[in-house]
Amino acid sequence: MPDVYAPRRPPRSEFLTLRGLRHHLLRWDRPVPGQAPLVLVHGWMDVAASFQFMVDALPAGREVIALDWRGFGLSGTTGADCYWFPDYLGDLDALLDAVSPGAPVDLLGHSMGGNVAMSYAGVRPQRVRRLVNLEGFGLPDTAPDAAPERLAAWLDELKAPPTLRPYATLADVAARLMKTNPRLPADKAAWLAGQWARPGADEGREGFLLNADPAHKRTNPMLYRKAEVLACWRRIAAPTLWVEGSDEQLTRFWGGRYPREDFEARLAQVPALQRAVLADAGHMLHHDQPEALAAHISAFLAD
């Protein structure tokens, strides 16, 4: 087994009931009077602990709070057939009411979390002091004519419950993480594996199970409507930092369905935008270059 990464700033693990569902939080440091907490929200099939390497590289002293989204990490599952994007906004709103009821926060989101954060900052502009989006590109626009096919796919998938494959050992989980992201060092992968997965024996199953509700794998029956998203983005009042890796993923993943020019036109709708590109980093830039990312974030939040 490789060495396992040792966090320099170990967090406190807490649980809060938000909108009737038990949510898991990680907290680093303590509240500082007059200073906005930094709230972190992760991407799809990820967990709050994924931010540990970046937090370790941030200056100590600021309170940092990371949320496991519903159905991920140690947060509760809904038992529903799907997870709905508006619920993430509702959970985030409830979280901020709990942890910073009287003052705005600094809000950072990665990937799916970046999209949630951007929409939320437009819907509740008074609740966000500074906004950071890490590779939250969004999705290709969809036309109304796509609705019947999308709904049919969802109905078909309801007939076969989704599953997530188990892993024999945590070392296998770590190997899968490094296969997905070859830049991830072995010691960090070994540490993350213990955050991403849990022993199946606790549930009478063999191996290790990912900390995610398999329902996340189902087709979402709701269409992604770019016009609605941009209506929120245009209302963002907070200074916004967009950060991406130099290993550009958008065109590689979506091809002609979502060209870079479309995303650039979307980003141009954000009123007060700064941009940064991290060298030698891909989509998981908070794993690939945590020190460089932390330096950009620290400078931006200090403005």
User: Does residue 176 fall inside a structural domain?
Assistant: no
Query: 260 and 250 in contact (C-beta within 8 Å)?
Result: yes
Domain count, the chain: 1
User: Does residue 35 fall inside a structural domain?
Assistant: yes
Domain that holds residue 57: 12-142+225-302
Q: Residue 58 has which token pair?
A: 């941030």
User: Does residue 122 fall inside a structural domain?
Assistant: yes
Three-class secondary structure of residue 264 per DSSP: helix
pLDDT of residue 2: 65
pLDDT of residue 303: 73
pLDDT of residue 83: 94
CATH number assigned to the domain comprising residue 61: 3.40.50.1820
User: Does residue 50 fall inside a structural domain?
Assistant: yes
- Which residues of the chain fall short of a pLDDT of 50? none
Half-sphere exposure of 265 (CA within 13 A, CB side): 9
pLDDT of residue 255: 86
pLDDT of residue 1: 52
User: Does residue 292 fall inside a structural domain?
Assistant: yes
Residue type, 108: L
Sequential DSSP letters for 193-262: HHHHEEEGGGGT-SSEEESB-GGGGSPPSSPP-HHHHHHHHTT--S-EEEEEESS--HHHHHGGGS-HHH
What's the rounded Cα separation, in Å, for the pair 227 and 220? 18
User: Does residue 271 fall inside a structural domain?
Assistant: yes
Q: Residue 293 has which token pair?
A: 């990312």
Q: Provide the residue count of the chain.
A: 303
User: Does residue 206 fall inside a structural domain?
Assistant: no
pLDDT of residue 146: 96
- Dihedral angle sign, alpha carbons of residues 105, 293, 264, 229: negative
Q: What's 107's DSSP letter?
A: E
What's the rounded Cα separation, in Å, for the pair 209 and 216? 15
User: Does residue 36 fall inside a structural domain?
Assistant: yes
Query: 283 and 133 in contact (C-beta within 8 Å)?
Result: no
